[in-house]
Amino acid sequence: MKTFCILSAFALVGTCATTKYTTKIQNLKDSITIVDSTLVVNYAQTITSKELSKELYSFSSNAFEGRQTGEKGQKLAAQFLKNYYTKEKIASPFGDSLYYQNIPETFFSNNIKASENVMAYIEGSEKPNELIVISAHLDHLGMDENGEVYNGADDNGSGTVAIMEIAQAFQQAKIDGHGPKRSILFLHLTAEEIGTQGSLYYTQNPVFPLENTIANLNIDMIGRIDNIHKEDKNYIYLIGSDRLSKELHYLSEKVNNTYFNINLDYRFNAENDDNRYYFRSDHYNFAAHGIPVIFYFNGEHDDYHKITDTPDKIDYQLLQNRARLIFATAWQLANQPNRLVIDTKNDLLLN
């Protein structure tokens, strides 16, 4: 009887503890209020499959020679992005015509030439010192020994043009008097394919203090489907969303449930995932500094890192929907009243 009582007491304590944690999570979910829903819908609709297709056919064309880090094609790709932001009148974070963060050759190994990250910036109207970084790598694999181009349409032309369209949507909102309350950095990173070196350089030499960066939304391959989802293409993998900030995770889900109802697949977010995707793209260099991240990813497919990753194989309607999701998530982060909080400082989880 005594043993039974003790075990029952432990069971009761465990139940109470579980209930208490469940209550905390529910309180956290309830604290997230979607803002500006009409504006979000209106400006998300400016992100279109037609414009994404036009930009991606250009960005992943043979003219850019596979965008290998430090080589001619990658330089042309960087110039393409600079020209776009200049045309759209989206500012440089440096306040002039310099859109590049130059990375010297000495930063790289294996005889990689000097390269550059490309950045555009919209300053927040109310809390300009708080920053959201939306990132995607611009580089790819160059050409093979036969001179065939690795076009990298999905990897990562899809993420690149998504950022371009997202930036354009935010800029139009600003022109209309609805600019973001917090600042947004649109960050096109070089040298991801050789070990996330562009994001490593940025986080070691940040243009804005990392302690002011509230979140990084990183996009790497969002224009295709993988073999797992051949029967249900309305999905996107999210990786890292709950690692540092459960508020970010539930905010992301609430945005999706409000506007899109895309299947958010978390299977690769498992800490024991053999693919280790959490550590393999540019978001990780932000997460390593305690910055909450979401990595948006469609998974690998048969054309991954092959010369057959071409723009004609992109599902542009799918790319549009995923880009709109990322835009709406960024809008919520930029415009909700409170700054996003990491778990170790979130009173709703600590008390």
Give the model's confidence band at 328: pLDDT under 50 very low, under 70 low, under 90 confident, else very high: very high
What are the E-state strand segments in 106-150?
Answer: 115-122, 127-137
Share of the chain above pLDDT 90, in %: 93
Please write the tens of the pLDDT for every residue from 78-134: 999 999 999 999 999 998 889 999 999 999 999 999 999 999 999 999 999 999 999
Burial class (CB in 10 A: 0-12, 13-18, 19+), 273: middle
pLDDT of residue 18: 53
Please write the tens of the pLDDT for every residue from 156-191: 999 999 999 999 999 999 999 999 999 999 999 999
Q: 114: how many CB neighbours lie within 10 A of its CB?
A: 15
pLDDT of residue 3: 39
CA angle at 78 for the pair 75 and 83, rounded to the nearest 5°: 125
pLDDT of residue 190: 98
More confident residue, 65 or 20: 65
pLDDT greater than 70 at residue 224 = yes
pLDDT of residue 100: 98
pLDDT greater than 50 at residue 263 = yes
Six token digits for residue 263: 């299947």
CA-based R_g, the chain, Å: 21
Share of the chain above pLDDT 70, in %: 95
pLDDT greater than 90 at residue 8 = no
Note whether 81 and 167 are within 8 A (CB): no
Please write the tens of the pLDDT for every residue from 32-91: 999 999 999 999 999 999 999 999 999 999 999 999 999 999 999 999 999 999 999 999
Cα dihedral: 54, 58, 61, 63 (round 10): 160
What's the whole-number average pLDDT of the chain?
95
pLDDT greater than 70 at residue 273 = yes
Six token digits for residue 206: 């940040």
Integer angstrom CA distances of residue 60 from 8, 76, 289, 301: 64, 11, 32, 17
Q: How far apart are CA 256 and CA 269, in angstroms?
A: 18
DSSP bridge partners of 133: 185, 216
Tell me which residue has tokens 């899109």.
260
Handedness of CA 171, 284, 323, 254 (dihedral sign): negative
pLDDT of residue 287: 98
pLDDT greater than 50 at residue 12 = no
Hey, is 177 helix, strand or coil? coil
Please write the tens of the pLDDT for every residue from 292-307: 999 999 999 999 999 9
